[in-house]
């Protein structure tokens, strides 16, 4: 595949503190809302990962002026109607969030556009978004009866819909809300389980209105937004790798600063506490989303069962939770997580196959995996499968293997965490 990395066990505990990079979900949304708002949006702690840069390039392609400065990103929004028909295809790279949320925006724009992405995006299901967008009255199609990229969209005037999500997905919910904001009437989305609510929070932050009643979210069409200042919290999904590393490497104590603590994202904290992790959270006052500092120490862990409505709150953390479970005594069962099969890779297969190569006692099930611990891990040749979170899981595992791990495809980590290895090394050296 790509770059080979040889990773060796750490000789001492991990010590020190780091500021994990900005939240990926919030960074995408800040660019999107800033692009359709009126006035300047200033984004602090924007994630400079490849996925969020794909969002930047797509909106630039539609005529939005976006400046990437030393310590901030500024977006010169001129309202929904200022978005221009792109003269080239919109390339979303590896990013499912860019692809799906942007479709919701494009559905209401009176022009033609085509979306493509990389090989992974080409395999990910898009019907879950194209189906509801068609109900709004937009003309949208793609390969495989509208299920895969390349996707072609001719947006236009939309009529509000009421829609029950067949899968608990924040990306699908967000695409519907973004189309609903441009439709005539009140759009309603029903969630089977609560998913991340960054889109709803951002509607409010940009001066719009959105309501939640139980599991129904409602937006009225015709809303105009005002540019604003966004402080992006640290990404708990990136912090997860160091929370795990600190818990499993002997003699460690690590503090992660300014991590986003939105309750729709904190499933990993609940799971680690239930497994017996030594963890301290100090909440910090903030005007935007909840944030705090998290400290974790080496811990004696026990296996647990993870399933039901906690799954959407930790879906991206399951690869590294599986690694954590290899170091817990007893059995960990992860269920109701079939969505893992349609992430950047099939993450059930990827995690099970790669952790097995390191000596883990792990098996795949239809909707998750079963891990028996505690096992000592050994070195092997492994691959990221081109998936950033699998790559980082392997890098964390290598901290405790008795011989080196050779990781192929480590460059995938740049998707969400370009400074991952330097942050990891700083904890080894302090
Ligand atoms: C995301 C939602 C989740 C998550 C993805 C980011 C978002 O996907 O896995 O990494 O920003 O809305 P689904 O909505 O498909 O579950």
Place of tokens 């708002």: 37
Q: Ligand 1 centre and the CA of 283: distance in Å?
A: 25
Secondary structure, 3-state, 95-142: CHHHHHHHHHHHCCCCCEEEEECCCCHHHCCCHHHHHHHHHCCCEEEE
- Residue 367 catalytic? no
Pocket test for ligand 1, best of 22, 23, 24, 25 (most atoms within 8 A of CB): 25
**H-helix or E-strand spanning residue 211:** strand 211-213
Full set of structural domains in the chain with CATH? 4-22+234-429 (3.65.10.10), 24-231 (3.65.10.10)
**Which of 91, 316, 408, 423 is an active site residue?**
316
What is the number of the ligand 1 atom nearest to the C-alpha of 339?
A: 16
Task: Look at residue 64 and give its three-state secondary structure.
Answer: coil
Question: Which residues have C-beta atoms less than 6 Å from ligand 1?
Answer: 25, 97, 169-171, 174, 196, 315-316, 339
Q: Ligand 1 centre and the CA of 288: distance in Å?
A: 20
CA distances from 264 to 147, 164, 348, 427 (A): 27, 19, 22, 28
Pocket test for ligand 1, best of 51, 52, 92, 170 (most atoms within 8 A of CB): 170
- Please answer whether residues 113 and 86 qualify as being in contact, where contact means their C-beta atoms are separated by less than 8 angstroms: yes
Whole-model pTM: value is 0.98
Q: Ligand 1 centre and the CA of 57: distance in Å?
A: 20
Nearest CA among 184, 190, 175, 191 for reference residue 220: 184
What is the number of the ligand 1 atom nearest to the C-alpha of 170?
A: 14
Residues 6+ apart with CB under 8 A from 185: 159, 160, 220, 221
What is the number of the ligand 1 atom nearest to the C-alpha of 315?
A: 9
Q: Would you state the pLDDT for residue 429?
A: 83
CA distances from 33 to 39, 198, 419 (A): 11, 11, 26
pLDDT per residue of the chain (430 residues) written in tens, 0 to 9: 577 899 999 889 999 999 999 999 999 999 999 999 999 999 999 999 999 999 999 999 999 999 999 999 999 999 999 999 999 999 999 999 999 999 999 999 999 999 999 999 999 999 999 999 999 999 999 999 999 999 999 999 999 999 999 999 999 999 999 999 999 999 999 999 999 999 999 999 999 999 999 999 999 999 999 999 999 999 999 999 999 999 999 999 999 999 999 999 999 999 999 999 999 999 999 988 999 999 999 999 999 999 999 999 999 999 999 999 999 999 999 999 999 999 999 999 999 999 999 999 999 999 999 999 999 999 999 999 999 999 999 999 999 999 999 999 999 999 999 999 999 999 998 7
Q: Would you state the pLDDT for residue 17?
A: 98
Q: Could you tell me how many residues make up the chain? A: 430
Which DSSP string corresponds to 271-309?
A: HHHHHT-EEEEEEE--SSS-EEEEEEE---EE--EE-GG
């Amino acid at each position: 595949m790509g770059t080979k990395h040889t990773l060796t066990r750490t000789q001492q505990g991990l010590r020190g503190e780091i500021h994990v990079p900005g939240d990926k979900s919030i960074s995408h949304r800040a660019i999107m809302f800033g692009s359709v708002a009126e006035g300047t949006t200033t984004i602090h702690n924007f994630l400079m990962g490849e996925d969020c840069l794909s969002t930047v390039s797509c909106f630039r392609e539609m005529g939005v002026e976006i400046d990437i400065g030393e310590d901030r990103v500024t977006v010169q929004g001129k309202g929904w109607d200022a978005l221009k028909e792109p003269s080239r295809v919109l390339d979303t790279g590896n990013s499912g969030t860019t692809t799906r949320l942007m479709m919701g925006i494009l559905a209401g724009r009176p022009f033609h556009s085509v979306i493509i992405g990389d090989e992974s995006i080409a395999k990910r299901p898009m019907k879950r978004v194209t189906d509801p967008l068609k109900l709004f009255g937009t003309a949208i199609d793609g390969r495989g009866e509208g299920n895969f990229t390349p996707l072609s969209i001719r947006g236009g005037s939309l009529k509000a819909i009421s829609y029950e999500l067949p899968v608990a997905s924040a990306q699908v919910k967000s695409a519907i809300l973004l189309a609903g904001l441009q439709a005539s009437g009140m759009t309603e989305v029903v969630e089977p389980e609560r998913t991340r609510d960054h889109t709803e929070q951002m509607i409010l932050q940009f001066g719009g209105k959105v309501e939640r009643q139980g599991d129904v979210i409602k937006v009225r069409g015709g809303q105009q937004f005002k540019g604003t200042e966004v402080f992006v919290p640290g990404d708990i999904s990136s912090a997860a790798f160091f929370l795990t590393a600190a818990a499993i490497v002997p003699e460690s104590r690590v503090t992660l600063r300014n991590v986003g603590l939105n309750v729709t994202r904190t499933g990993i904290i609940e799971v680690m506490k239930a497994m017996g992790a030594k963890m301290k959270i100090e909440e910090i006052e903030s005007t935007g989303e909840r944030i705090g500092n998290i400290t974790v120490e080496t811990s004696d862990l026990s296996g647990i069962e993870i399933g039901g409505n906690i799954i959407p709150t930790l879906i991206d953390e399951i690869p590294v939770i599986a690694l954590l479970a290899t170091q817990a005594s007893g059995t960990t069962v992860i269920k109701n997580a079939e969505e893992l099969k349609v992430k950047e890779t099939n993450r059930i297969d990827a995690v099970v196959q790669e952790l097995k190569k390191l000596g883990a006692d792990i098996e795949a099930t239809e909707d998750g995996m079963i891990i028996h611990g505690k096992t000592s891990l050994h070195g092997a040749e492994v691959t990221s499968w081109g998936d950033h979170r699998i790559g980082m899981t392997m890098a964390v595992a290598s901290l405790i293997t008795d011989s080196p791990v050779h990781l192929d495809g480590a460059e995938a980590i740049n998707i969400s965490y370009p400074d991952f290895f330097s942050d990891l090394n700083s904890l080894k050296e302090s």
